[in-house]
C-alpha cells in the first residue's frame, strides 16, 4: 500500500487526503454514491488518498453500506482508499473485520485501535499488501485522558501512552504495512511521533474544523524526504459550498489546500 500511496502522492504532487463522510444534514439531497462520485471526479488529480469514515455509512443502514461499496469502486485504481473504521477486537473477531474491510469492501488500508494490544492487530497485519494505520494520538480534546498518561517502560523510565503505541508500531511493521494516526491539533506530539518513527506513514486528521495548524502539521508530519504525511480534510472540502456548485467548490478548496501544503513543504527545505 505504501508504494501506491507514494506513487499517487508524487503524481498528484499532493499530501492531501479527502475524507468522504456523507452527512445528510450537510450534503445536497442527492444519492450518496452520486455525491461522492462528483467529489471524486472533481478532486482525483489533487489527492494522495481518499478516506471514507465507516460511521457515516453505517448510520444509513444497508443503503449506506451499498453507497460505500459503490464509492470505493468509484475511486480511480491508482489512488489508495483508507477505510476509517477504528476497529479493534480479539483475534478471531478481527479476522472477520479484516475480511469485511479488505476482502469485501476492498480498501487499500484501514484504521485500527491499539487498546487490545498486539495479537488483536495480527489479523490486519497479515495482509502484507494492505496498510494498517494504528490510532496513536487522536485529534479530539479527550485524547489526553488516556493517550497522554505517563506509563512506566518497566526499566525505570516512562513515556506517554501514545509513544508506547508508536514504539510498538515499529515492531508491528515487519511487513512494512504499518502507519500511525496522529491528530494535527497536537503538533508537539506529532513531532515526537515522527522522531520515534522516522519512516512510518502518518495519517493526520484535525486541520481546519478541528483547529490544527497547517504549517506545523506539514513541518512535523513529513518524513526526511518530505513525504509519508497524509493530511486529511473532510468537511472543509466536501461541504465547501452548500449549493448546486458543490463539486467545483470542493475542487477549489482541495486545490487551495494542496497548494498551501506544498508551499509549507517547500519553505521547510529538504530534498
Determine if 102 is a binding residue for a second copy (CB under 8 A): no
What's the closest the beta carbon of residue 103 comes to a second copy, in angstroms?
8
Residue 117 sits in the site that holds a second copy (CB under 8 A): yes
Residue closer to a second copy by CB (options 29, 61) is 61
Work out whether 259 is an interface residue with a second copy (CB under 8 A). no
User: Interface with a second copy includes 224 (CB under 8 A)?
Assistant: no
Spell out the SS3 assignment of the chain. Answer: CHHHHHHHHHHCCCCEEEEECCCCCCCCCCCHHHHHHHHHHHHCCCCCEEEEEHHHHHCCHHHHHHHHHHHHHHCCCCCCEEEEEEECCCHHHHHHHHHHHHHHCCCCEEEECCCCCHHHHHHHHCCCCCEEEEEEECCCHHHHHHHCCEEECCCCCEEEHHHHHHHHHHHHHHHCCEEEEECCCCHHHHHHHHHHCCCCCEEECCEHHHCECHHHHHHHHCCCCCCCEEEEECHHHHCCCCCCCHHHHHHHHHHHHHHHHHHHHHHCCCC
User: Does the footprint of a second copy cover residue 58 (CB under 8 A)?
Assistant: yes
Query: Which is catalytic among the residues 86, 130, 168, 228?
Result: 86
Binding to a second copy by residue 89, rule CB under 8 A? Answer: yes
**Does position 242 bind a second copy by CB under 8 A?**
no
Which positions lie near a second copy, rule CB under 8 A? 21, 53, 55-56, 58-59, 61-62, 65-66, 69, 84, 86-91, 93-94, 96-97, 99-100, 104, 113-121, 135, 138-147, 149-152, 158, 161, 164-165, 168, 210
Could you give the residue numbers annotated as active site?
Answer: 86
Amino acid at each position: 500500500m505504501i508504494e501506491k500511496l507514494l506513487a499517487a502522492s508524487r503524481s498528484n504532487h499532493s499530501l492531501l487526503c479527502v475524507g468522504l463522510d456523507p452527512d445528510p444534514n450537510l450534503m445536497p439531497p442527492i444519492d450518496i454514491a452520486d455525491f461522492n462520485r462528483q467529489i471524486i471526479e472533481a478532486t482525483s488529480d489533487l489527492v494522495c488518498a481518499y478516506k471514507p469514515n465507516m460511521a457515516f455509512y453505517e448510520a444509513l443502514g444497508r443503503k449506506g453500506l451499498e453507497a460505500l461499496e459503490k464509492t470505493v469502486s468509484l475511486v480511480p485504481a491508482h489512488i489508495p482508499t483508507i477505510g476509517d473504521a477504528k476497529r479493534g477486537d480479539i483475534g478471531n473477531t478481527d479476522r472477520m473485520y479484516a475480511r469485511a474491510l479488505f476482502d469485501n469492501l476492498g480498501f487499500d488500508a484501514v484504521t485500527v485501535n491499539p487498546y487490545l494490544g498486539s495479537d488483536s492487530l495480527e489479523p490486519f497485519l497479515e495482509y502484507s499488501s494492505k496498510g494498517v494505520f494504528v490510532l496513536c494520538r487522536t485529534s479530539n480534546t479527550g485524547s489526553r485522558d488516556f493517550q497522554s498518561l505517563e506509563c512506566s517502560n518497566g526499566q525505570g523510565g516512562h513515556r506517554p501512552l501514545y509513544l508506547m503505541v508508536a514504539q510498538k508500531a515499529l515492531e508491528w511493521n515487519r511487513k512494512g504495512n504499518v502507519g500511525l494516526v496522529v491528530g494535527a491539533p497536537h503538533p508537539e506530539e506529532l513531532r515526537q511521533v515522527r522522531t520515534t518513527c522516522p519512516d512510518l506513514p502518518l495519517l493526520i486528521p484535525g486541520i481546519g474544523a478541528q483547529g490544527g495548524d497547517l504549517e506545523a502539521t506539514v513541518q512535523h508530519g513529513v518524513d526526511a524526504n518530505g513525504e509519508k504525511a497524509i493530511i486529511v480534510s473532510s468537511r472543509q472540502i466536501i461541504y465547501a459550498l452548500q449549493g448546486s456548485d458543490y463539486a467545483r467548490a470542493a475542487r477549489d478548496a482541495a486545490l487551495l489546500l494542496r497548494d498551501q501544503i506544498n508551499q509549507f513543504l517547500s519553505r521547510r527545505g529538504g530534498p
